[in-house]
Structure 1
């Protein structure tokens, strides 16, 4: 359920989330130069405490406030007494106890509230300076981290997979695309994603995702010009009924991919 390995000077903590004997997701916590990036879900707290007890870090950076990234932050705050940073838009969310729907509480666990501090434009780890890049779309408080010296990028949840089939009702495909374009303006190769882990040829893969989304936008807009409704476009482009749609009571749906493109 937890695997720890090193890649390009980064300690990667891979966590497979298993429910009813079936793997439903994978999420990562990452450690580099005394900087812990994201804290995994509450559900994995016991396993992560073992990791924390055997590794040193000076502070925590949260790429965004979603519970699969902030779940053990309260434990860290209580037991490690290190500062925890997030984009200012995420501070109020972090202060709340499990501010998310029941199905997500069951999947990731119930994260208690904690006090996060606001991130600035840069953050200094033990030996390196990191640029904090605001990259909304997946979440309004989402950031990425870039080290110009090493060419290392931590992309949070901006990549996840090359092709996007379903999103949350709070997400925006056009905003995600703008954030990807922002990251592609930087000179990086090594990319670490909080769900895909280390992504080889990261810049190439992120560009492929942008190309896919640009083509998708064109398809959606052309079908809309032909008179198809949002629901009809969804059924044509995304005929598969993903399980997360019913489990989440449609907080996740392919429909939002289409509607966010058409409301841009």
Structure 2
């Protein structure tokens, strides 16, 4: 099963690609975005034919990646070769995509292995096209290499997996306190449109990010309150207003679950959330 969709917001073109090898498992689609010769993220390797064909007649001068995850970096090499253009990425992202990094079975199932990308160009302080200037901002939490790209004059935020929405599950390695800190820092900037990798918000994007921050802070407080009452495990999950998706937890080999989110709240810092600056 495959998904191919598009969106247009002013000069920004969005492309959504999703893949599942079996009908009873829904695809996990991802958006990549194009503006003025720049492509932000490249979708998953399993959709390479569709991605390359969709963008074949588009002038791509440069490709940038929000982070290394395989559903964002999967076609960077193929597109770079097809359009004879550079790939720009942060240092950790560049380090990881220069070789084939380890994937779990469910990641191979939905997304596929990336083709290693040698000669990645380091991100500079500003990413320029003919008409626009995008500023990379390190936004930790979802991964330790994640960047968003802000075009302040247009109010655009190309956010990769920074926003997504009100998270109900975490994958192993996500850090809720880093997310909160990154969100607070990003809200010091002006933007209105969030070009999210999974859930674009084309109007009132800043308010959506503010609501997510409030959601995360409330979630942290709920978990710590329930923990002080003696609740543990799935009782904490329920007290936080979450529900475990057991099929997903089993299918991902315990890599993705609601309990992972709760464990991040309990284990990723020994400080009360109100002490986070």
TM surpasses 0.5: yes
CA contact (8 A) 1:93 1:99 kept: no
Q: Name the SS of the counterpart of 1:218 in structure 2.
A: helix
> Residues 1-264 of structure 1 correspond to what in structure 2 (within 5 A)?
1-21=3-23, 22-115=25-118, 116-161=120-165, 163-237=166-240, 238-263=242-267, 264=269
CA-to-aligned-CA distance 1:123-165 (integer Å, 9 cap, x gap): 111211111100011011100011111111111101112x211
Task: Give the TM-score normalised by the residue count of structure 2.
Answer: 0.90
Q: Displaced runs of 4+ in structure 1, greater than 6 A? A: none
Shift of 1:239: 3.3
CA contact (8 A) 1:98 1:105 kept: no
Query: Where do 5+ consecutive residues of structure 1 fail to align?
Result: none
Q: Name the SS of the counterpart of 1:255 in structure 2.
A: helix
Structure with higher strand content? 1
Moved more, 115-124 or 16-25: 16-25
Shift of 1:98: 4.7
Task: Give the TM-score normalised by the residue count of structure 1.
Answer: 0.94
**Cα RMSD for the two superposed structures:** 1.6
CA contact (8 A) 1:135 1:142 kept: yes
* 1:249–1:34 distance in 2 versus 1, CA, 3 Å: same
Q: Name the SS of the counterpart of 1:159 in structure 2.
A: coil
Q: Name the SS of the counterpart of 1:174 in structure 2.
A: helix
Shift of 1:234: 2.1
Q: How many residues align?
A: 263
Distance in 1 separating the partners of 2:194 and 2:238: 33
Q: Name the SS of the counterpart of 2:28 in structure 1.
A: strand
